[in-house]
A and B are shown apart, each in its own frame.
Chain A
Amino acid sequence: MRTGLILGALLAGLALAAAVLSAFWTPHDIARLAIAEKLLPPSPAHWFGTDHLGRDILSMAMRGAQTSMVVALVAVAIGMGLGVPLGLLAAAHRDRWPDDLVMRGNDLVFAFPSLVIAILITAVFGPSAVNAIIAIGIFNIPVFARVTRGAALPIWTLDYIRAAQVAGKGRALISLQHVLPNIASLLIVQATIQFSLGILAEAGLSYVGLGAQPPTPSWGRMLAEAQTMVTLTPHVAVIPGLCIVLTVLGLNLLGDGLRDALDPRLRVLR
């Protein structure tokens, strides 16, 4: 069991380290194009080879990790920042109009897959990494609202909440002081899951040109650029794909492991 958590933390940690490191240093300068060195296979000078413009793929992948992580992280922050308060509000006013309003709003946003939101935003404002963040962030809001509400509802029936009410605390204060701390572990786990989904979504959006724009490196765009060369030089397409798979796998294993470690009651039956 612990192996999953450790493996997940290692993989996710590696991706995070690459992302942070790339802000200060990459093995090669990715802004420098060297057409003479294009599509080189992996070698000691270029561990993962070079792409069609002669750029070092390892350096590109490191900066790609940064793009992915920033987009996914901010999107999770948007989802949590708006979704958790909405979920708490809904739970505090169970079956009254604030609850209904939040839940119906949720249903509405759920009908728009993140890609469709991105398409709408892009059609209006043009493609950019910021629009990808907004699209994935909007998609995250109902997810967090629903999870928060679902977890908070049973807590509102407990005796210590009754005691807090008798002591004269209002719904907002109770939500913050008593409900939120009790559902925090669940929210952390959900944040890990949404983070990994965000990385997949960012890759998909960049792949179709709705995400980060050139020259910002991103795993999805690296794959899009590699598509026509995949038959001749498979490494150009294999490396960014592996980066996505290993990062997402790591985050999912981390999420599962955290869930078991933080809250034994949520443990999936084995």
Chain B
Amino acid sequence: MLRYLLRRMIVMGASLLAASVVIFSVVELVPGDPASFMLGTGAQPETLAALRQQMGLDDPLPLRYAAWLGAILQGDFGTSFTYKTPVAPMIGERLQVSLPLAVLALVLAVALALPMGLHAAAQRGRVGDGLAMGAAHLGIALPNFWLAMLLVLVFAVHLRWLPAGGFPGWSDPLAALRSLILPAIALALPQAAILARVLRSSLVETMGQDYIRTARAKGLSRGQTLRRHALRNALIPVLTILGMQFSFLLAGAIIIENVFYLPGLGRMIFQAITQRDLIVVQSAVLVLVAAVIAVTFLVDLAYAAVDPRLRRA
């Protein structure tokens, strides 16, 4: 188990390092110079030179990368070009919206997909299966931002049950949660559809195994076998998809936040792109990618928890 853990951790560290090099290099490609951008066009050459020196822009590339990474490891993401404030607290503040949204959507997706996939597998080949999988097919084809617009139209504009957008802040947790419900549903439904399909086919495959026949032979009902024996064994592919989905949810949240005017990481990225605030874009992308890599690592750990055979690998 320890060796498995250690190997996974080394892989995670290497991925993070490689990702940071990629992100740093891409932003380095941008034409123009952040110092002159910060000072504007009318800046004195001496002031510009001084700021360039202060920002370390005259240093060679590898040195600048090392300085950038070293600062990030100490929690310093640099200073926003437009707001002139440190980027790290900005990101932290935005994550308080984006992270709960992604987690809420993931929980919703699992809560929907689990009964749906189990039901479809139990009803395999019958009407219930056909209906569930038909719905799943439709769900996969739904663009989440369009679903979001329809949800707003029905539940916010016509029924007035939930807010159409905006975020009141966590000082009023109930109101904050209420404003995250529609965005989370819009994110969760298409993901739940994918998850339900994967769960069903994984369950159906597992149900063909010998030990399932044994369980049935000793008198367990189909439903009991499904829940007690098949579900756990069918979970590996489901976990894989779940891990990939978290990155889709984070990315999807970037778009959905724009539909609902939520002050999350996604909104910040788009504002930063229009303002050409590259350091914010760079840092936010790094945080997103790091989150994806960390989730992949957690999924690997979950494999080991679900399937003891993997711990010896």
Q: List A residues at the B interface (Cβ < 8 Å).
A: 104, 107-108, 110-116, 119-124, 196, 200, 203-204, 207-209, 220, 223, 226-227, 230-231, 234, 237, 240-241, 244-246, 248-249, 252-253, 268-270
Contacts and interface: CB of A to CB of B under 8 A. Distances in A.
Given A119-B269, A253-B137, A223 B146 contact: yes
B286 to A, nearest CB: 10
Interface in B254-279: 254-255, 258-259, 269-270, 272-273, 276, 278
Contacts of B140: 248-249, 252
A269 B250 CA distance: 32
B36 interface: no
Given A203-B143, A231-B153, A268-B201, A123 B288 contact: no
7 contacts: A115-B255, A116-B289, A119-B273, A200-B143, A204-B144, A234-B153, A237-B149
Nearest to A270: B125
Interface string B201-233: 100110010000000000000000000000000
Contact of A245 (B18, B138, B269): B138
B208 A123 contact: no
A113 B149 contact: no
A118 to B, nearest CB: 10
B217 to A, nearest CB: 21
Interface size class, chain B? 35 or more
Interface in B174-216: 201, 204-205, 208
A113 B125 contact: no
Given A111-B296, A120-B285, A223 B149 contact: yes
B163 to A, nearest CB: 14
Nearest to A251: B141
A120 B259 contact: no
A269 B205 contact: yes
B114 interface: no
B15 A111 contact: yes
Contacts of A207: 143, 145, 255
B27 A124 contact: yes
Contacts of A220: 143
Interface string B102-128: 000000000000000000000011000
